[in-house]
Amino acid sequence: MKIWITITDGKIDRVQEGDAPIGEGEWKEVPANWNGNHGDKLEWFDEKMHRLPDDELVRQGKRCDNRGRVYNVKDHSQRIIHHLDELLAEDETQEAPLENSPFQFFDRASKKWVVDTKKKERAEKETALGNALEKIRDLEERGKRPSQEIVLGIEVEENKIWLGKFRGEIENLRDDINKLNQALKESA
């Protein structure tokens, strides 16, 4: 049994089996083992009309192989490409984002994910500022009992030592807070 095809716009358009093609058009006979399909591009075949393997077509640049996991460079979401010739969107890459690094962006020039050191440093300073403020609140809370006991005249010397220690730590923390606030203003 013979196989007949028509070609339109560089692609296999119609395929028929039989002794002679039925219908109008410019039919071309192909070998029985041609391994082609409707929609295949003519450039995917050799001069004897045998279809080249996909990996060879990819190697020659006639097909695109982006199969696998791809990542959105804006929101880091991912999707899977299952088929050959499926193109990446403009905002996608096959390069996986860095693990455990929330302060990253995709650098299009190097085609790599890189850490945004400015954002990372700012976040670290903001975290340190929050920790210092929390520590002050904790020290002030812990200083309430000794203050009340001093007012009542209970264990006066020990309470004065504790209050002095708390006050010193709080002053050091306030210095740290001022430095962090200044650094955050300068980095804004």
Confidence bin at 13 (pLDDT 50/70/90): very high
103-119 residue pLDDT tens: 999 999 999 999 998 88
Do 121 and 111 sit in the same domain of this protein?
no
Supply φ then ψ for residue 162, to 5 degrees. -60, -45
Quote the tokens at residue 179: 């430095």
77-134 residue pLDDT tens: 999 999 999 999 999 999 999 988 889 999 999 999 999 988 898 889 999 999 999 9
Do 172 and 121 sit in the same domain of this protein?
yes
pLDDT value, residue 172? 87
Angle CA 119–182–131, to nearest 5: 70
Percent of the chain with pLDDT over 90: 59
Do 180 and 121 sit in the same domain of this protein?
yes
56-72 residue pLDDT tens: 999 999 999 999 999 99
Do 94 and 155 sit in the same domain of this protein?
no
Range of the domain at 51: 3-59
| 39: enclosing H helix or E strand | none
